[in-house]
Chains A and B, each alone.
Chain A
Amino acid sequence: MTTLSKILHVDDDLDILAVSKMVLEDLGGFVLEQCSSGADALKAVTQFKPEIILLDAMMPEMSGLETLQELKKLPEAADIPVVFVTAKAQPSEIAEFTNAGAVSTITKPFDPVALPEEIRDIWAKHKP
């Protein structure tokens, strides 16, 4: 696949998921799967086989970081590029994400019009 098609977006905020559905499907033309928890994401990844995963950093029960660590243990998910989406984006936080294997960080609030292109650029740089 030379162009990005399938995105898995994980965020516990249902309003953000509703907005991202329009941004990524209607504006971006992607095939989208959404989950509102890390646990659901671990189940969805094997069935949906996304090409990139957008992961909220702060989620209850299983944080973004914990979810990423679990994803890296799954053979079928370990190589999928993961992008953290976070409202804090402090350098120490970004370093933590990078060390855990994230390929990039997007800061909230994101620009909805620019987001599809931003994700395409990240995937082009980091696709397996």
Chain B
Amino acid sequence: MTPPAKKGSISELQAELSLGKMGLAVEEIDHPVFVIWVDDFKFAYINESASEFIGLEPEFFYGKTTSELGAYFGSDNLEHHYSPLLTQNVRSITYEAEHLNMNGENIPVEVLSQIVKPADGRSFIVNISRDISKRKNAEKQKSEFMSTMIHELRTPITSIKGALGLIQAGVVGELSDKARNLIDISNRNSETLIRLIADMLDSEKSEAGMLNYQFEDFNLAALIEESVAVNQSYADKYKVNYRVFGTQNALEIRGDYGRVMQIMANLLSNAAKFSNSGDDVHVAILRDNNSVRISIKDFGLGIPQTAQASIFDKFTQVASQNQRDKGGTGLGLGIAKAIVEAHGWSISFASQEGKGTEFIVEIPK
């Protein structure tokens, strides 16, 4: 005769869910597994790995809510993580958290949470945690390495930029036309190097979620006009005309001025690069009841259909047909998107090959 299932035990869960032998498999998994009832957020089950990891018997957990035991799971608001499962028809999510282990250490983990809704019976969420301390250590080392590398790159460039700037400014005497041309070329390219290094640093920081922002209120109309003026060199280089619309009236928004200028620099330079010589690029502020939109529209090459899905990915670069397309890392749009999203805004585009591309940054009111 089968003994009555111990309350909260694997047998009870198996009995309730009719899992049979599958339940044994869960017990054997080497990663912490914990199951939470959706209707009251109480622990239904934790496996042996979870028990050993946290250093407490399963009985300690049964009948307690996730809020009561949040300290062990790095959050007293686990429900916050589960909201896509509960409200958006999402079946599983992955999130990073920390679990308190038996030595009192906070261990970084990645948790896979899957909602299960039996036809007859209570819904529950199965959570499987994976210790990611090694991965986090590797990420930290990579980040430190990048920081050192960037410092090492910027140091000699300081002397190069300094020396070229002094020569260009005439501090060491007048230059012949040919010498001036060579110095201009060197200076321009050292500026490109400086920008590439800054892009690398930003890309690295945005991946690590570490781009820094300083939010303030400012006039978007004035920023748009300033960004067009500051990026005029792209217009000159590619022989396009930036035409500005919708900036007659001031428009107060909240954001990081420098970072928004960075978005504009990226979009304006791309629009110029992918235009035909002599084209206009329209830069406009569009307003309606729900939002403000910044539109940058070119009438040039357009983005090929095959490239459109990955346009915001790191290192994606679309080859332009004419030979004018030089330089760039392919990092810019990815960084621009990260900045847009950090502001709670969105970025989208519409493009047709041979007709042009319009990028829209939408700022909800």
Which of B147, B157, B172, B212 is the one whose CB lies under 8 Å from A88?
Answer: B147
Interface membership of B74, Cβ < 8 A: no
From A108, which residue of chain B is reached at the shortest CB distance? B158
A107 nearest CB across to chain B (Å):
8
Q: Across the interface, do B162 and A23 meet the contact criterion of CB distance under 8 Å?
A: yes
Interface membership of B319, Cβ < 8 A: no
B192 nearest CB across to chain A (Å):
13
Q: Across the interface, do A87 and B158 meet the contact criterion of CB distance under 8 Å?
A: yes
Q: Which residues A34-89 have CB closer than 8 A to chain B?
A: 58, 87-88
* Segment from A2-10, A96-104, A109-117, A120-128 that makes contact with B: A109-117
Interface membership of A19, Cβ < 8 A: yes
Interface membership of B290, Cβ < 8 A: no
Q: Beyond A15-B159, A19-B159, A26-B171, is A112–B165 a contact (Cβ under 8 Å)?
A: yes
Interface membership of B161, Cβ < 8 A: yes
Residues from chain A with a CB closer than 8 A to the CB of B157 are 108-109
Residues from chain B with a CB closer than 8 A to the CB of A19 are 158-159, 162-163, 166
Q: Across the interface, do A27 and B194 meet the contact criterion of CB distance under 8 Å?
A: no
* Segment from B113-121, B148-156, B327-335, B346-354 that makes contact with A: B148-156
Q: Across the interface, do A109 and B151 meet the contact criterion of CB distance under 8 Å?
A: no
Q: Across the interface, do B171 and A16 meet the contact criterion of CB distance under 8 Å?
A: no
Q: Across the interface, do B159 and A113 meet the contact criterion of CB distance under 8 Å?
A: no
Q: Across the interface, do B155 and A113 meet the contact criterion of CB distance under 8 Å?
A: no
B47 nearest CB across to chain A (Å):
39
Interface membership of B25, Cβ < 8 A: no
Q: Beyond A87-B154, A91-B212, A109-B194, is A16–B165 a contact (Cβ under 8 Å)?
A: no
Interface membership of A20, Cβ < 8 A: yes
B205 nearest CB across to chain A (Å):
9
Which of B151, B158, B168, B169 is the one whose CB lies under 8 Å from A16?
Answer: B158
From B193, which residue of chain A is reached at the shortest CB distance? A109
Which of B155, B166, B194, B212 is the one whose CB lies under 8 Å from A112?
Answer: B166
Task: Give the number of residue pairs across the A-B interface with Cβ within 8 Å.
Answer: 61
Residues from chain B with a CB closer than 8 A to the CB of A15 are 156, 159
Q: Across the interface, do B150 and A88 meet the contact criterion of CB distance under 8 Å?
A: yes
A91–B172 alpha-carbon span in the complex (Å) = 37
From B198, which residue of chain A is reached at the shortest CB distance? A107
Interface centre among A13, A19, A27 (most CB of B within 10 A): A19
A87–B162 alpha-carbon span in the complex (Å) = 14
Q: Beyond A87-B154, A88-B150, is A109–B162 a contact (Cβ under 8 Å)?
A: yes
A22–B194 alpha-carbon span in the complex (Å) = 22
Residues from chain A with a CB closer than 8 A to the CB of B169 are 27, 112-113
From A107, which residue of chain B is reached at the shortest CB distance? B154
From A27, which residue of chain B is reached at the shortest CB distance? B171
Residues from chain A with a CB closer than 8 A to the CB of B168 are 113
Q: Across the interface, do B162 and A112 meet the contact criterion of CB distance under 8 Å?
A: yes
A18–B156 alpha-carbon span in the complex (Å) = 13
Q: Beyond A22-B166, A23-B166, A91-B212, is A109–B158 a contact (Cβ under 8 Å)?
A: yes
Residues from chain B with a CB closer than 8 A to the CB of A90 are 147
A91–B205 alpha-carbon span in the complex (Å) = 12
Q: Beyond A88-B150, A112-B161, is A27–B155 a contact (Cβ under 8 Å)?
A: no
A88–B159 alpha-carbon span in the complex (Å) = 16
Residues from chain B with a CB closer than 8 A to the CB of A27 are 166, 169, 171
A15–B166 alpha-carbon span in the complex (Å) = 13
A18–B166 alpha-carbon span in the complex (Å) = 11
Q: Beyond A27-B171, A113-B169, is A20–B162 a contact (Cβ under 8 Å)?
A: yes
Residues from chain A with a CB closer than 8 A to the CB of B212 are 91
A110–B159 alpha-carbon span in the complex (Å) = 9
Residues from chain B with a CB closer than 8 A to the CB of A16 are 155, 158-159, 162
Q: Across the interface, do A110 and B158 meet the contact criterion of CB distance under 8 Å?
A: yes
Residues from chain B with a CB closer than 8 A to the CB of A91 are 212
Q: Across the interface, do B159 and A13 meet the contact criterion of CB distance under 8 Å?
A: yes
Could you jot down 7 A-B contacts, CB within 8 Å? A19-B162, A27-B166, A109-B154, A109-B157, A109-B161, A110-B162, A112-B169
Nearest 4 pairs of A and B residues by beta carbon: A19-B162, A87-B154, A112-B165, A15-B159
| Seed contacts A88-B150, A108-B155; 19 additional CB < 8 Å A-B pairs | A13-B159, A15-B156, A19-B162, A19-B166, A22-B171, A23-B166, A26-B166, A26-B171, A27-B166, A27-B171, A87-B151, A87-B155, A90-B147, A91-B212, A108-B158, A109-B161, A109-B162, A110-B158, A112-B165
